[in-house]
Structure 1
Amino acid sequence: MPPDSDPPIAAHDLNHWFGTGEARKQALFDVTLKVKRGSLTVLMGPSGSGKTTLLTLLGCLREVQDGSVQLLGHELHGANGALLTTLRRRLGFVFQAHNLHNSLTARQNVVMGLQVHGNLPADQADTAASHVLHLVGLGDRLDYLPANLSGGQKQRVAVARALVGNPDVIFADEPTAALDRESGANVVDLIKRLGRERGTTTVMVTHDNRVLDQADRIVTLEDGRIVGDRQTNT
């Protein structure tokens, strides 16, 4: 396991703008943040505070304009497309919109999460997808189409798709917003277990106060700046 002195995520003096000319507006101001391996870090704050912008910059989904982001030992500022593609293969993403393919079963949707990792034999991919769907409580829904799943079940399929490749880091944007209390707790419990057992690091944007008890750390943003950063007792 890498030492804590070499965190999987480290941002330093990170600034970001949207728009051009007179419409240009700064969204992040001098954000500095290090995330410990295996931890669940929650980003909180009102709408427009910069949470999702920060998440997408850390997850190499948006170009770093100013400052530094180190992800899994690689600098993202100025990184070329090949490096970004390689890094994304080591990540898992969960968003509020589940983005499932309606013509594919739950298992087939999860298998798609393995395709970025190369040509895994079909039987191995099916076995891996079935295993992670069992982990999220959908072992009896493997061959269901999204139209025959509830909103919470669809989101759990999306979580399974993000987890199936055993990512080093999970980036999650409001992953429990569409889930009932039990389903949301199950998803966060699974993420926590991955942190303990595999060293998976998770950064999660949420307005869901039910998640806070599970977080290892809560970082609060306001108007593009970090205004609070506290470790919890979990």
Structure 2
Amino acid sequence: MSRTAAPIVVRGLEHWFGEGEAKKQVLFDVDLVLQPGKLTVLLGASGSGKTTLLTLMGCLRRVQQGSVTLLGMELAGAAEDVLVQCRRRLGFIFQAHNLHDSLTAMQNVRMGLEVHGPAATAQWESAAAHLLDLLGLRERLNYLPGNLSGGQKQRVAVARALIGNPDIVFADEPTAALDKESALNVVTLLKRLGTERGTTTLMVTHDSKIMDLADQIITMDEGRIVQDSSLS
């Protein structure tokens, strides 16, 4: 895929949960385009379809109807090995940090390289330490999660998502557990990766300070995109 090509293109995307009489449509004719190296913020009330959309674009759910082109690959009807290849080029940050309690901060970050095979883990220590240092955790490299605050755990989770140099970062309320300074540091780092490496970030957030830094803001309501700043 060309470095200048749109990393995500969604056309006519629709999605349902449940079966039979309980079947409910949650996404309706969603169209969007994300630009390379940019920070896009996804807004909407709880239940508006934000997380469902994010997980479909992130290969965590199967596309039922419509088209999702991710890094030049069509996800609708894609074989499992294609989806695995795509996932290896993505980073995920969720509200729940999901750290392994028995691993140190450094070791938890290393887990982000497991999907890339043995070769990728060869120089993991210096890369993990560098990321944790950038996120203000230089003094906590060898701490277990039980000895970290909620905000520190979340920053470890951010480092884990970034350790494999992903092409796209999907972040679902990643700064909810962070203080203002830490949240700004995380988003500034993501913006920097966009400028220096072309990393594209799609972030679900309601933090106004982060929205001020966004290159594109998409608003959802009841499964539909009702506003897209790139089209205004």
What is the TM-score with the length of structure 1 in the denominator?
Answer: 0.95
Q: 1:45 to 1:128 in 2, by over 3 A?
A: same
For the aligned residues, what is the CA RMSD? 1.5
* Residue 215 of structure 2: aligned partner: 216
| Identity %, equivalent residues | 66
* Residue 144 of structure 2: aligned partner: 145
* Residue 227 of structure 2: aligned partner: 228
Per-residue deviation, 1:74:
0.2
Q: 1:59 to 1:122 in 2, by over 3 A?
A: closer
Per-residue deviation, 1:121:
7.0
* Inter-partner Cα distance in structure 1 for 2:119 and 2:26: 40
* Residue 106 of structure 1: aligned partner: 105
Per-residue deviation, 1:135:
1.5
* Residue 32 of structure 2: aligned partner: 33
Residues 114 and 120 in structure 1, CA contact (< 8 A), matched pair in contact too: no
AA of the residue aligned to 2:84: T
Q: 1:123 to 1:88 in 2, by over 3 A?
A: closer
* Residue 114 of structure 2: aligned partner: 115
Moved over 6 A (4+): none
Matched, 1:92 2:94: no
* Residue 191 of structure 1: aligned partner: 190
* Residue 158 of structure 1: aligned partner: 157
AA of the residue aligned to 1:20: E
Per-residue deviation, 1:3:
5.7
What is the TM-score with the length of structure 2 in the denominator?
Answer: 0.96
* Inter-partner Cα distance in structure 2 for 1:128 and 1:186: 18
How far does the alpha carbon of each residue in 1:174-196 deviate from its partner, in whole angstroms, 9 at most, with x for none? Answer: 00011111111110010000000
- Residue segments in structure 1 that go unaligned for 5+ positions in a row: none
Residues 113 and 121 in structure 2, CA contact (< 8 A), matched pair in contact too: no
* Residue 67 of structure 2: aligned partner: 68
Number of residue equivalences = 231
Moved more, 61-70 or 111-120: 111-120
How far does the alpha carbon of each residue in 1:177-232 deviate from its partner, in whole angstroms, 9 at most, with x for none? Answer: 11111111110010000000000000011122221011111000000000011149
* Inter-partner Cα distance in structure 1 for 2:178 and 2:37: 24
How far does the alpha carbon of each residue in 1:7-64 deviate from its partner, in whole angstroms, 9 at most, with x for none? Answer: 1100000000001111111000000001000000010010100000000011111000
* Residue 180 of structure 1: aligned partner: 179
- Residue segments in structure 2 that go unaligned for 5+ positions in a row: none
AA of the residue aligned to 2:43: M
